[in-house]
Structures are given as C-alpha cells and as structure tokens.
Amino acid sequence: MISVITIALNNDSNLLKTVESLNHIRATYQDGFFEHIIVSPDMSCSEFKESRFLFEEPSGIYPAMNAGLRDAKGEYLWFLNSGDECVECPDFSCLFGKNHPAGPHIFCFPVIRKYSDGRQEVYEGNLTNPHQGILYHRDVFTRVGEYDTRYKLISDCLLYDRMREYKVKVIKLSKPIAYFAMDGISGSAEGKQRSKREFRHYFLRNITKLMAWFRFFRSYL
C-alpha cells in the first residue's frame, strides 16, 4: 500500500485540486491500494471523508511531514502537498515487480513542473528530485531518520545526503508521476534566498560536507 501524505495550511482550492487528482489512482487500482493522509492545523480539512485527517500545529512543513510519515501505514510513502497533483494515468507497475531491492530504497519518477503562467516542463533529477517525484520505502526513514526540523526549506536535500551516506538504492523510472506546483514558497524568489541562507548556515556548521555534496550533486545533475 502507498501512503499519500498531503501537508496543507488551509482547506482551499489547492487542497481540493490535490484530493481530486487522487481519483486517477482510484480509477486504475483496486481499493486498498493507497491511503491518503491530510496533515493540517485547519480542522475543516477533516471534511474529506476518503482521507484521514491528522491535526498538526502550524510549526512548518517538515514537522508536519514527519507527523504524516509516523502516522502512515503503507509500505511506500509519497508526499504530495497541497496544490500538487497526481498525473492522469499514474504508473505504479514498479511496485508489482518481483525484483525489488532488499533494504531501504526509493523509486524516483520525473515530475511535471506547473507554473502560474501556464507553462509546464518535465523535470528529471534522479535523487535530486522534489519529494513529489519519489516513492520512499518506509525503511528509508527507519535507516536514515526523519526530516531535519531545524530548517524550513532544505531538509529534503539533507535527507538525500543521508540516503547517499547510507547507500539507499535508487530505482529511476521514466514516466512522470506528479504535477509539481511551482507557485509555493520553494519556487519563489523569497524561498530561493532563504534556501541559500539555510545552506550557508548548514555548511558553516558542517564544513567537511561541502566537497562531498559537490561530488554527490554533480554525479546526479
């Protein structure tokens, strides 16, 4: 089973878009193939009866993502946040193969970036993908730990770094799995500046990581 985890600050049109896109999974796969968890401080998000609501104080996206993964019951975890969407014909055939790697692993899909001006582009970043394009086997978090809540925007990258250190296996796939909304904080000018400050703070505290990161990301870009 896949646990689809959605972080939402409010019950708005973006959340509705995400919830409705999951009907593409229901149309293709049998009941019980996935569960949907909405993590939000907005109690009205509990109105979506086919989703499980998890109340979380508004302390940031990564504490909410950690709360969602702790509550998840699926073998695989997929973080599809408010405003992001599942593609029309999602291909999860990778989950039915007989040759899954032993131990922690991820399936890495392309994502389709959606911009507010209507533009779309396919992005394939392998392990540098946004989380919308990754199915995490739940053992990944058992092995490498949860998201680092000291940072607001770069904890996905810090998680990828720990996955590299622990040699988490990456299975790269060719079909996009999600539309990634680029009008959120991470895609804004303010978000990019904040990410730079957070990376600067991280590397000043972990200077030995700098060259390892350079080699790591160069190998995947």
Mean pLDDT, to the nearest integer, of 154-180? 91
Mean pLDDT, to the nearest integer, of 10-15? 92
More confident residue, 122 or 196: 122
Domain that holds residue 197: 2-220
Q: Other CB atoms closer than 10 Å to residue 151's CB: what's the count?
A: 20
Q: Report the CATH number that the domain containing residue 208 is assigned in CATH.
A: 3.90.550.10
- Residue 146 confidence (pLDDT): 97
Our CA angle for 113, 24, 157, nearest 5°, is 40
pTM of the model: 0.88
Question: What is the Cα gyration radius of the chain?
Answer: 17
Q: Which residues contact 194 (CB under 8 A, 6 or more apart)?
A: 152, 153, 185
Per residue in 100-152, pLDDT (tens digit) is: 778 899 999 999 999 888 899 999 876 678 999 999 999 999 999 999 999 88
- Residue 213 confidence (pLDDT): 59
Domain count, the chain: 1
Pairing status of strand 111-114 against strand 120-123? antiparallel
Instruction: Single out the residue of 127, 123, 118, 159 nearest to residue 140, CA to CA.
Output: 159
Q: How does the average pLDDT of the chain come out, rounded?
A: 88
